[in-house]
Amino acid sequence: MKFLFTAMAVALVAATAFAAQSIPPDLRETALAIFKPLPSIPEVTNNPRTPEKIALGKALFFDPRLSSSGVFSCNSCHNLATGGDDNRETSIGHGWQKGQRNAPTVFNSVFNKSQFWDGRAEDLKAQAKGPIQGGAEMANTSHQVVETLKSMPQYMEWFQSAFPGEAEPITFDNLTNALADYEATLVTPAPFDAFLNGDDTAIGPEGKQGLALFIEKGCSSCHSGVNLGGEGYYPFGVVEKPSANVLPENDKGRFAITNVPEDSYVFRVAPLRNVAITAPYFHSGKVWDLRQAVATMGTTQLGEELTQYEVDRIVAFLNSLTGKLPKIAYPLLPTETAATPRPQSQILGK
Amino acid sequence: MKFLFTAMAVALVAATAFAAQSIPPDLRETALAIFKPLPSIPEVTNNPRTPEKIALGKALFFDPRLSSSGVFSCNSCHNLATGGDDNRETSIGHGWQKGQRNAPTVFNSVFNKSQFWDGRAEDLKAQAKGPIQGGAEMANTSHQVVETLKSMPQYMEWFQSAFPGEAEPITFDNLTNALADYEATLVTPAPFDAFLNGDDTAIGPEGKQGLALFIEKGCSSCHSGVNLGGEGYYPFGVVEKPSANVLPENDKGRFAITNVPEDSYVFRVAPLRNVAITAPYFHSGKVWDLRQAVATMGTTQLGEELTQYEVDRIVAFLNSLTGKLPKIAYPLLPTETAATPRPQSQILGK
């Protein structure tokens, strides 16, 4: 059964900012109709997920030699030590170039229905091909990264174990396939999952009040599903356009992919797991304070000035999305050989 | 007893490049008079080494927020996944600036008598202060890095545990103190140590021949002690100056520290543990092939064209210095707060 606040109750909350938000008795049932606890990890590539492939994917994820300069690994911008992102507005890449959009966390990204802020990659495998070849990111080519891996006997062995029976196991497709399968293991069960799964003590009263508000105010209309986002597409500024600082004019989001005018300033809904440890916020990375981010969402997406009380509760709820980060053994990477292409740090065209 | 090849034996080896190098029966005793197996880890700071301090040091080592941009950690240039260095001629730092000299491995660096290629830091603690504040490296200030750490409650807790009883545990000195104590744990026991410790099978016949040659030819006059280097200072080009490519004219080495003309092009002897996995070589990082590096040392330091046979054996010996790298649990780092200084990526003065 879905719970609905009566008009009177809503009016009361709005009128008295410090009145305690009630916790609906059927909060879990209501939440389960909107959100989902973390499921088991899905198969993400058309190649069986094996321990060998995951181990290979992990090595690749941490290997800076995937970049032409030898400076950046996947982990540089999606740092597993700091919430799976890089704590910057936008990332720094090859030649000190700045990325256009905030680096999202890799944790739980397997549950997003598409990848990147504009959803231009259908899955993690397609996503991985972007930054490796992005001129302002890792600035490599598919050919050169394959040559780099082929030059190291240890990688040859690992690819053979991960893709048994293939005559040429080291390919760009297999590289991104292994990366995707490793990334799919990076999930972070959170107190909110425990709550959804039946543990009433997993979230405190403030968090529960926040969850009720999150649903009642309409946040969950977009931020739903297992990742509380990462599914649909909506304009940033449904009701009121954010400031040009937060929503830079030159980044029209999904419009650049679809060329449909209605997609101007449309972005994939941000997934909210681990949001409390992955500041700064929005595609522009311009907001560092989660409370401010929540308030901004109130005005731009809901057309509502959330009270301090409401913001506090919603943030308490969002804190319950901070998951248990996996323990990771730092990999030991293959040694280069005379055949390994040398790091290139010049910027093409300069 | 020290073994000495007779003049005749030397002449024989020189005359027949492919004659098998004999393995002196007292090779271990001779080697033990010149080298030392890895000792237990020394105390490196005037503050007891505790598990809490080592854990803190590890977190700091991996934390990119020690750099003003949030891009570089100690591990960026001293990557524990790739031999403790970055596999580049010289490192890339803040603003894509290039370092002046090749980044040396952090592994076993605690056993060097001084740090940096010119020995300008007396120990690991003094060393750590360099890159953090280096404008072309991490480009931070001691004040700002302390503010950064202080802004995160988890770091406050960790510093309190590591430096109990101190009213202000987060200081630049304590930061570098913890870093140094962590780095001191990064040692890599190698087959050569097993050989020195009595295991005859730890090194094969080619490696033993190489060790005999390494001593006989005079390499061990400089590359001695526990790190096979890292102690004395010698000019690069004792006998013959290397090419300007390998020995750039504008880097006069220790002269910049001492201002003594005799110190022109003088560098600290490179320590050789893990040399096979830490290309490229020399302070300039201009030589990628270990065989070429050995041959270059022959001509520049010994005034001798080593034969292919000799180079191969010496390289086989150097391979026995590749140690067992420690297994490292990748740390989970504290979360930033509103008080954490924001990443700065601009280059000062530009």
Which of A70, A96, A327 lies at the smallest CB-CB distance from B96? A96
pLDDT band at B43 (very low <50, low <70, confident <90, very high): confident
pLDDT tens digits, residue range A160-206? 999 999 999 999 999 999 999 999 999 999 999 999 999 999 999 99
CB contact under 8 A, B64 and A83: no
Residue of B320, B197, B295 lying closest to B240 (CA atoms): B295
Interface test with B, best of A336, A344, A346, A350 (most B CBs within 10 A): A336
Q: Is B95 on the interface with A (CB under 8 A)?
A: yes
Q: Which residues contact A35 (CB under 8 A, 6 or more apart)?
A: A192, A196, A220, A224, A225, A226, A228
The residues in B 119-138 lying below 8 A from A, measured between CB atoms, are none
Residues from chain B that touch A87, judged by Cβ atoms under 8 A, are 64-65, 70, 336, 343
Q: What was the pLDDT predicted at A18?
A: 52
Q: What was the pLDDT predicted at B349?
A: 61
Tell whether the model's pLDDT for residue B14 goes beyond 80.
Answer: no
Q: Is A331 on the interface with B (CB under 8 A)?
A: yes
Helix B142-150 × helix B153-162 angle, to 10°: 100
**Catalytic residue ranges of A:** 137
Q: What was the pLDDT predicted at A7?
A: 43
Q: What was the pLDDT predicted at B312?
A: 98
pLDDT band at A8 (very low <50, low <70, confident <90, very high): very low
pLDDT tens digits, residue range B48-97? 999 999 999 999 999 999 999 999 999 999 999 999 999 999 999 999 99
pLDDT band at B11 (very low <50, low <70, confident <90, very high): very low
How far apart CA B85 and CA B108 sit, in angstroms, is: 12
Q: What was the pLDDT predicted at B47?
A: 87
Residue of B226, B222, B243 lying closest to B296 (CA atoms): B243
Q: What was the pLDDT predicted at A45?
A: 85
pLDDT tens digits, residue range A16-45? 445 577 899 999 999 999 999 999 998 888
Tell whether the model's pLDDT for residue A313 goes beyond 70.
Answer: yes
The ipTM value here is 0.93
Kindly state the percentage of chain B with pLDDT values over 70: 94
Q: What was the pLDDT predicted at A349?
A: 61
Q: What was the pLDDT predicted at A5?
A: 43
pLDDT band at A350 (very low <50, low <70, confident <90, very high): low
Burial of residue A177, with CB atoms counted within 10 A of its CB: 0-12 exposed, 13-18 middle, 19 or more buried: buried
CB contact under 8 A, B333 and A81: yes
Q: What was the pLDDT predicted at A99?
A: 96
Chain B residue at shortest CA distance from A94: B96
Prediction pTM value: 0.93
Kindly state the percentage of chain B with pLDDT values over 90: 90
Q: Is A87 on the interface with B (CB under 8 A)?
A: yes
CB contact under 8 A, A87 and B69: no
The residue among B22 and A145 whose pLDDT is bigger is A145
Q: What was the pLDDT predicted at A19?
A: 59
CB contact under 8 A, A87 and B98: no
Tell whether the model's pLDDT for residue B25 goes beyond 80.
Answer: yes
Query: Mind telling me how many Å the CA of B344 is from chain A's nearest CA?
Result: 9
Q: Which residues contact A116 (CB under 8 A, 6 or more apart)?
A: A101, A127, A130, A268
Tell whether the model's pLDDT for residue B141 goes beyond 50.
Answer: yes
Q: SS3 for B47-94, per residue?
A: CCCCHHHHHHHHHHHHCHHHCCCCCCCHHHHCECCCCCECCCCCCECH
The residues in B 189-208 lying below 8 A from A, measured between CB atoms, are none
pLDDT tens digits, residue range B197-228? 999 999 999 999 999 999 999 999 999 999 99
pLDDT tens digits, residue range A196-249? 999 999 999 999 999 999 999 999 999 999 999 999 999 999 999 999 999 999
The answer to whether B86 and B76 are in contact (CB under 8 A) is yes
B71: alpha, beta or left? (left if phi > 0; alpha if psi -120 to 50): alpha
CB contact under 8 A, B64 and A86: yes
